Amino acid sequence: MNPLIAQKRKEYHNALIKSGILTVDKNGIPSNADKDSRLSKTISALIAKQLEAETHEKTEGQTLGGKFESVTMNFIRDTFLHLGNLRPGKWHVERLGNRNAIKTFSFVQYEHLEYLKKVTKHDIQLASTLGNDYMVAPDIVIYREPEPDEIINRQEYIVNDSVAMLSNMRMKCNSLPILHASISAKWTMRSDRAQNSRTEALGLIRNRKGHLPHIDVVTAEPLPSRLASLALGTGDIDCLYHFALYELVNAVKSTDAEDSIEMLNILIDGKRLKDISDLPLDLAV
Mean pLDDT by 10 residues, the chain (285 residues): 96 96 94 96 97 76 86 98 97 83 88 81 71 73 98 97 97 97 93 77 91 96 96 91 98 96 98 98 97
Smallest CA-to-CA distance from 276 within 237, 231, 246 is with: 246
Domain count within the chain: 1
Q: Which residues 6+ apart lie within 8 Å of 269 measured at CB?
A: none
Question: So what's the pLDDT on residue 98?
Answer: 59
Domain range for 258 is: 4-283
Say which CATH number the domain at 229 has. 3.40.50.10010
Signed CA dihedral, 269, 197, 185, 67: sign only:
negative
pTM of the model: 0.93
* Three state DSSP letters for the chain: CCCHHHHHHHHHHHHHHHCCCCEECCCCCECCCCCCCHHHHHHHHHHHHHHCCEECCCCCHHHHHHHHHHHHHHHHHHHHCCCCCCCCCCEEEEECCCCCCCCHHHCHHHCHHHHHHHHHHCCHHHHHHHCCCCCCCCCEEEEECCECHHHHCCCCCCCCCCCCCCCCCECCCCCCCEEEEEEEEECCCCCCHHHHHHHHHHHHHHCCCCCCCEEEEEECCCCHHHHHHHHCCCCCCCEEEECCHHHHHHHHHHHCCHHHHHHHHHHHHCCCEEEHHHHHHHHCC
